[in-house]
Amino acid sequence: MSTTTRSRGSAGGGSDADAEGCDLCGLPTPTPPVTGDGVAGEFCCRGCLEITRALGDDASADPETVERELAGEADEVPDDAERTYMAVDGMHCATCEAFVSGTARTCEGVYAAEASYANDMVRVTYDPEATDLDGLSGTLARYGYGTRDPEEREAAERPDNQVARFVIGGGVFGMMVMLWYVLFLYPTYVGVRPVVELGVFDGIYILGNIWVMTSIVLFYTGFPILRGALVSLRAGQPNMDLLVSLAATSAYVYSTAAVLVGETHVYFDVTVAIILVVTLGNYYEDRIKRKAAGMLSDLAASRVSEARRRVAGDADGSGDTAVEMVALDVLEPGDLVEVRPGERVPVDGTVREGTAAVDEALVTGESMPRTKRPGDDVLGGTVVTDRPLVVAVGEDATSTLDRLVELLWDIQSARSGVQRLADKLATIFVPTVLVLAAVAFGWTLFSGGTPTDALLVGLTVLIVSCPCALGLATPLAVASGIKEAASRGIVVASEAVFEAVPDVDVVVFDKTGTLTDGDMAVLRVVGEGENGGEIDGSDALAAAAALERFSAHPLAAAVVEAAEDAGVSVPEVSADDVTVHDRGVSGAVDGERVVVGHPSLLRDEGATLSPAHETAVEVARDEGAVPVVVGRGGRSLAVLVVGDEPRAAWDDVVAAVAEGGRREVVVLTGDSERAARRFRDHPDVTDVFAGVPPEAKAETVERLRARGTVAMVGDGSNDAPALAAADIGIALGTGTDIAGDAADAVLVGRDIDAIPEVFSLSAGVNRRIRGNLTWAFGYNAVAIPLAALGVLNPLFAAVAMGTSSLLVVANSARSLD
């Protein structure tokens, strides 16, 4: 079974809803839409407007056309088309990506298919009536590509299979091959007595064993590499797998022929070394790619698959109502769905009945839940916290959470890593090496050499150019950096950290949960002192906690927790004496009526706020916090200021990352302008954008890339698209799993004071990568001409190749200190 959603937006060639959406992030716009002087377009919020004002309108290309071109989609896709994600086993390089996409598009009823080598997944837009997904899986399976539901990724056997290929095929049989070489063949090659004396017929026996074991290493352990080479030939795009396969198989074929004609100078060891080195590198790379695929599955798991829809006849809410559980696909605009406390709103819509606090943190990043009343819009994927709601399905009938899944796919699958760069170089490097090998072969024959001499020269060129050192240059330096980072409490999930961090020009910080603690807490209690002075407000806190225990609102939980932490004695209150309001709670505490909540609730209840408390309310709002007023006896008793405070080290971290102005620092938040105001005063903060939804966060990061390389630091699920869109994503380990999976580096068990270490550590690893690559390219520049001139033979070529790899290993293993 695959993860399937209705095709929407550009997949369907556009829709009216999309056409009327925000010009920055695509979210539905209010009526009237948000507009501003000097800024063309209509927006969903002030955040999107201000980002467009500051960063400009990127109209260089029509996004729908670009997405269709990337996905290979037809210009017109029916509205009833469906879209599914399938995990793909066996994609070995960027060429496999193109091959899987093209093969899937040949299946009947498939409108578009886009494979992602970065995610090991394929996204298919298809006609559910005409397309058999099992048939599509079978078509891919014929070429060696298995498919499965992305949600089964954690239970997949593929990593174990790769370990088995390496350990069984390489560790066992490869070691046995090298043992025979060390005991017998290597000594005879250099003219000394072998370690073990053997009889006249034992040479054939030994070579036969070596041939069998090398065959297992080549065709079992090296199967993915050989298949990648075959696919590259089918696709007409030569890649590194092709060059590796040619070197390994050429040594194997030549050695097999040599054995058949009675020669003992064979190069099976070259085949074994090449296959094992490249297989190990591929396994390491696959571990990194699986993290990218995991974030899509995790975010998809947060989506709602069913909804409680009111049955026909009761849609007007009159009489006895009944509900039925239905799949989201069958919901129509105007349908009424019931959402209970603790559940996610299934799709975007409008509140028809009920009033409740809705947590939008996952979708918008705003730390404070918003109270939703009849007539208010709600976003799919947000959580109803305290009371049930009845929501009328909107015109688009889709979930904002679904849009995040699509956005993550588009961003992550478009990213290019080291292997993609290597495959691009291979389109030049591989044909060049093949031409040089052919020219060397022909020149040797033309110069009077024997066919055997010519074959050895051509084989030597292939062996000496085998890109083992080039393939190891980055992975080994990265592995060393990952180990060093782990010792410092930093988990590195992508080699991109070490490649791009030293060149970062702009660092973008999410506010809530990153620069701030992210947890609602009572910051202070402003009691009955003159001029609003802060005095002991334990009585007010105790009374407030006594009533707030009966409310499910997140602010209530913060008040109760504050009372527990302060150790105050909370009076016992009967539930019968408590009334929960939309904006607070009231009831009898110790025989007196107490009201706790929004200032307007106290005014409606006839209570008067003192001038000091009125000032405290305004100060709290200016800080971006929430004032909760406690009233008793017709007057205000105290103001509880609730919010999330900045982390203690935030200003020092920002200064360290900015490096005296070398880097720009930008703060993004879904919270209000007031909540972000304090960060504008920092001298190293260049821009602060408030009220920004997740889709706009990702788009903001894309536009900031016009200023240079961008790093994004965040912690929440709503930050995942922005983390993926940035050149480098850094997530706090205290944040959500989705944010961590979308990031390139995760700070585990540490505060943001570890962020500067990410930059310094990455600079050291980057220098090591550059040193390794310099050596690898320099080696090929010297060794290939020597091999072509016949100066080297295959044995010395193998030794040179091994020595080159060992130097890369030694350089990578050095301490970074």
Residues labelled as active-site residues: 510
Cis peptide before 32 (omega within 30 of 0): yes
Helix axes 268-301, 468-487, angle to 10 degrees: 50
Q: Taking phi first (over 0 means left), then psi (-120 to 50 degrees means alpha), and beta for anything else, what does residue 262 get?
A: left
Number of CB atoms found within 10 A of residue 647's CB:
19
| Cα distances (angstroms) measured from residue 427 to each of 239, 339, 410, 422, 770 | 6, 55, 25, 9, 22
Closest by CA to 817, choosing from 502, 475, 488, 499, is 488
Quick one: CA dihedral 804, 806, 811, 812, positive or negative? positive
Quick one: CA dihedral 371, 377, 383, 387, positive or negative? positive
Cβ proximity of 582 and 355 under 8 Å: yes
Cβ proximity of 106 and 113 under 8 Å: no
Helix and strand totals (H; E) in the chain: 29, 29
Number of CB atoms found within 10 A of residue 451's CB:
10
Strand, coil or helix: what is 668? strand
Task: Tell me how far apart the alpha carbons of residues 466 and 241 are, in angstroms, rounded to a whole number.
Answer: 10
Tokens 């698959």 — which residue? 305
Contacts of residue 250, defined as CB under 8 A and 6 or more positions apart, other chains included, come to: 458, 459, 462, 463
Task: Tell me how far apart the alpha carbons of residues 594 and 582 are, in angstroms, rounded to a whole number.
Answer: 16
Task: Tell me how far apart the alpha carbons of residues 438 and 457 are, in angstroms, rounded to a whole number.
Answer: 9
At 583, the amino acid letter reads R
Contacts of residue 109, defined as CB under 8 A and 6 or more positions apart, other chains included, come to: 126, 127, 129, 130, 131
Task: Tell me how far apart the alpha carbons of residues 173 and 625 are, in angstroms, rounded to a whole number.
Answer: 66
Size (the chain), residues: 817
Number of CB atoms found within 10 A of residue 48's CB:
29
Burial class (CB in 10 A: 0-12, 13-18, 19+), 197: exposed
Helix axes 240-260, 268-301, angle to 10 degrees: 150
Tokens of 158: 């593929």
Alpha helices in 118-201 (DSSP H): 133-141, 158-164, 175-180, 186-189
Number of CB atoms found within 10 A of residue 510's CB:
29
Strand, coil or helix: what is 43? strand
Strand, coil or helix: what is 767? helix
Quick one: CA dihedral 329, 330, 335, 340, positive or negative? negative
Tokens of 765: 């690893």
